[in-house]
Amino acid sequence: MAGIGSSGRDGFTSKFGIIAAAAGSAVGLGNIWRFPYVAGDNGGGAFLLFYLLFIVVIGVPVMLSEFTIGRRAQANPFGAFMKLKRGKPFVLVGIMGIVAAFFILAFYSTVAGWTLEYVYLSVSDAFNGKSGGEISEMFNGFYTSTWGPLSWQLIFMILTAFIVFAGVQKGIEKYTKILMPMLLVIILVLCVSSVSLGENVDPETGKVIGSSWDGLKFLFYPDFSKINAEAILAALGQAFFSLSIGMGVLITYGSYIGKDNNLTSTAVQVSFADTLVAVLAGVAIFPAVYHFGMSPEAGPGLVFKVLPNIFQAMPGGYIFAILFFLLLTIAALTSSISVLEVVVASMVEELKMKRVPATVIAASAITVFGVLCTMAFGELSSFKIFGKNLFDLFEFTASNIFLPLGGLLIVIYLGWFMGKKEVLAEISNEGTIKARLFGVILFIVRFIAPVAIAFVFLNGLGVFGFEATGG
């Protein structure tokens, strides 16, 4: 049963399986739901530029560090730092990771619930003949209600727990391998449809409502006047969230990676795939946003309000809508399982629990937080802390605070505490592969990444703080 990696532990069985699982964790709602609306809220092009910069100078090094720590220690994030040399103070990463897992999965399952509703709506052809305004209203009516969103959320959490039960090889690896490539193809089709919408002219007045070219311009033309410390922090938070780094997901997955895998190239490939999907999602969304005369600042509802319009306008839209929302749900699942896996692996290895009860307990406890997030748009919408409802609060705190802080500790540990020999041994697979870029990697991990994270982090919080970002 065990994979190629390790001493009797469950593990991935092939290189493609590793990439599929890690990319499955990285590629999810973060790319398709979150990236477009956070980019839309923070000015588009200039945000994208900072985001890309952070992926390269911070994201890839943190990801590689997580893989290295996890595979070296053969343990969950908590246990890993307990085991490794001079690691004890860094168990904080494991603890923060558990808290982050609760926060993330709470709002993640809310949105994943929305995607399930949209699978249902697509199948029942509910968008047919609806205007842009009506489609927006459909979403507004749905997500502020109670029982519909809660039921879908519950179904999503059960699905997540179900895959995690099944274990790494027969659960996670098996599903991600087939489904991730399919999603990529659908997004490419959507990109072409969205860009080719072109100009939208009101047939009665002859006035131009909008053009898909303006959407491309919004995404790719960096308008630096829209950038401020808060937007840069949001770009950092998005990079962490999207790559699934900073909370130990990839320490855990790293512990399932075989000793013969080249961790550096895996980190680069996974980060590349993740970034590609995010940018493509932007290309699928923004041209349509502009074509239909909508606002890129529509917030968390952006993709749900925009995409049904594209499906309506394209040939075969009925089928594509179903496929798209189905695959989006699946992309969400391959991410949510990785978040739950952190909690479950920690409970199994540290508390010596069995996998099944650990999964049930963790998933149930997280669902309680999830219910609060879903209700934050309905019954609990007037309950605010620091000007944010619970959903926004969890999202902001996890992505912009916990993940960057965790990432900071992770690179500091790898760069300054783990020991150069130890790091080199793991990255070079005990000297069997050449680690040609090792000097550069170590330099980035020691100096560039920690300084960059600390700077963006303090700058973003110090200048704008909680209150100013409220809403």
Nearer to ligand PHE (CB atom), residue 104 or residue 138: 104
Q: Helix H segments across 27-131? A: 29, 35-41, 45-54, 60-73, 77-83, 91-123
Q: How far is the CB of 241 from ligand PHE (least distance, A)?
A: 5
255 lies in the site for ligand PHE, by CB under 6 A? no
- Report how far Cα 67 is from the mean position of its chain's Cα atoms: 17
Bridge partners, residue 338, by sequence: none
Nearer to ligand PHE (CB atom), residue 28 or residue 87: 28
DSSP-derived letter for residue 59 is: I
Nearer to ligand PHE (CB atom), residue 29 or residue 423: 29
Q: How far is the CB of 278 from ligand PHE (least distance, A)?
A: 8
Q: At what angle do helices 229-243 and 403-412 cross, to 10 degrees?
A: 70
Among 10, 11, 24, 25, binds ligand PHE (CB under 6 A): 25
Cα distances (angstroms) measured from residue 257 to each of 1, 16, 91, 253: 14, 11, 21, 7
User: What are φ and ψ of residue 179, in 5° steps?
Assistant: -85, -35
Among 20, 21, 22, 29, binds ligand PHE (CB under 6 A): 29
Q: Which stretch binds ligand PHE (CB under 6 A): 21-29, 145-153, 185-193, 367-375?
A: 21-29
Nearer to ligand PHE (CB atom), residue 294 or residue 410: 410
Q: Which of residues 227-246 bind ligand PHE (CB under 6 A)?
A: 241-242, 244
Q: Distance between CA 336 and CA 284 in Å, rounded?
A: 23
Q: Which of residues 83-112 bind ligand PHE (CB under 6 A)?
A: 104
Q: Which of residues 375-404 bind ligand PHE (CB under 6 A)?
A: none
Structure tokens, 95:
């603890």
Q: How far is the CB of 124 from ligand PHE (least distance, A)?
A: 26
76 lies in the site for ligand PHE, by CB under 6 A? no
Nearer to ligand PHE (CB atom), residue 110 or residue 338: 338
The residue of the chain with the least Cβ separation from ligand PHE equals: 30
176 lies in the site for ligand PHE, by CB under 6 A? no
Q: What secondary structure does DSSP assign to 8-33, as a single string? A: S-----SHHHHHHHHHHHHSSHIIII
339 lies in the site for ligand PHE, by CB under 6 A? yes
28 lies in the site for ligand PHE, by CB under 6 A? yes
Q: Distance between CA 342 and CA 101 in Å, rounded?
A: 8
Q: Distance between CA 188 and CA 211 in Å, rounded?
A: 20
Q: Distance between CA 251 and CA 93 in Å, rounded?
A: 10
Q: Which stretch binds ligand PHE (CB under 6 A): 24-32, 78-86, 134-142, 446-454?
A: 24-32
333 lies in the site for ligand PHE, by CB under 6 A? no
Helix (H), strand (E) counts: the chain: 22, 2
Q: Which stretch binds ligand PHE (CB under 6 A): 2-10, 152-160, 297-305, 333-341?
A: 333-341
Nearer to ligand PHE (CB atom), residue 195 or residue 337: 337
Q: For ligand PHE, how many residues bind (rule: CB under 6 A)? A: 15
Bridge partners, residue 385, by sequence: 388
26 lies in the site for ligand PHE, by CB under 6 A? yes
Q: What secondary structure does DSSP assign to 416-457, as a single string? A: IIS-HHHHHHHHTTTTTS--TTHHHHHHIIIIIHHHHHHHHH
- The residue ranges that bind ligand PHE (CB under 6 A) are 25-26, 28-31, 104, 241-242, 244, 247, 249, 335, 338-339
